[in-house]
């Protein structure tokens, strides 16, 4: 088991994108869930390493699915970066190739909020599932937007994001910046000879024995 904290302080490199690629490519399972407050279509159109990884995953087996969970926006606001159209353009880019493998949850219209937003959905999460078991997750502040996913030039703009990446596999993310803050490995107890997964198994077995006794 591996836990990394990813901090984006500089525009040159998106460790969030690297984590997303690692999750889609290297974690076990047939389902990828991608949840975001905003999706931008240029992420699939222009970010080759990420879109190639999604292509690779979906084309490997018809059993592989991608589930997109996004906020619905009531209608087109006519602007070039309209959130409503960007979300459906993102969906369309994947559905054009893999219609039956793309599942969309556009959280349905609820109370109309300010800015014409149809609902307050704003969770940023990625999961990989093997059957019903989660095998990896990224939980964070990064949306699936160019701001968070692109590498920008030194003078580019990025928001300062923080994402937590947890996986049962050993995560290996290299930073070209060699920035000590960009990827922090969390070791829960480096004196302990057991892995976190073994400790979780032990805790689970102990709880299960107690429950079985009560029964």
Which spans of this chain sit near Zn ion (rule: CB under 5 A)? Answer: 76, 82, 84-85
Least Å distance, CB 146 to Zn ion, is: 17
Closer CB to Zn ion, residue 60 or residue 76?
76
Closer CB to Zn ion, residue 84 or residue 117?
84
Is residue 169 classed exposed, middle or buried when 0-12, 13-18 and 19+ CB atoms within 10 A define those classes?
middle
Closer CB to Zn ion, residue 72 or residue 163?
72
Closer CB to Zn ion, residue 17 or residue 84?
84
Least Å distance, CB 39 to Zn ion, is: 13
Least Å distance, CB 116 to Zn ion, is: 11
Least Å distance, CB 152 to Zn ion, is: 25
Is-contact 69 107, C-beta < 8 A?
Answer: yes
Least Å distance, CB 80 to Zn ion, is: 8
Closer CB to Zn ion, residue 82 or residue 107?
82
Closer CB to Zn ion, residue 85 or residue 183?
85
Distance CA 137, CA 2 (A): 11
- Angstrom CA distances, 10 to 15, 19, 22, 86, 144, stand at 10, 16, 21, 25, 18
Least Å distance, CB 21 to Zn ion, is: 29
CB atoms within 10 A of CB 173: 16
């Amino acid at each position: 088991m591996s836990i990394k904290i990813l901090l984006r302080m500089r525009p040159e490199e998106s460790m969030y994108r690297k984590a997303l690629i690692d999750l889609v490519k290297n974690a076990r399972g047939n389902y990828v869930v991608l949840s975001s407050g905003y999706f931008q279509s240029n992420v699939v159109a222009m970010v080759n390493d990420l879109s190639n990884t999604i292509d690779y995953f979906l084309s490997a087996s018809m059993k592989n699915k991608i589930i997109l969970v996004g906020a619905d926006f009531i209608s087109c606001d006519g602007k070039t970066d309209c959130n409503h159209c960007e979300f459906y353009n993102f969906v369309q880019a994947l559905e054009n190739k893999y219609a039956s493998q793309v599942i969309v949850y556009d959280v349905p219209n609820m109370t109309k909020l300010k800015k014409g937003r149809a609902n307050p959905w704003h969770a940023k999460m990625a999961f990989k599932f093997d059957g019903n078991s989660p095998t990896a997750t990224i939980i964070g502040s990064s949306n699936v937007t160019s701001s968070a996913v692109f590498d920008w030039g030194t003078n580019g703009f990025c928001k300062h994001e923080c994402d937590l990446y947890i996986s049962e596999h050993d995560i290996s993310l290299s930073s070209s910046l060699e920035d000590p803050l960009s990827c922090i490995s969390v070791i829960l107890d480096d004196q302990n000879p057991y892995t976190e997964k073994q400790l979780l198994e032990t805790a689970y077995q102990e709880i299960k024995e107690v429950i079985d006794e009560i029964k």
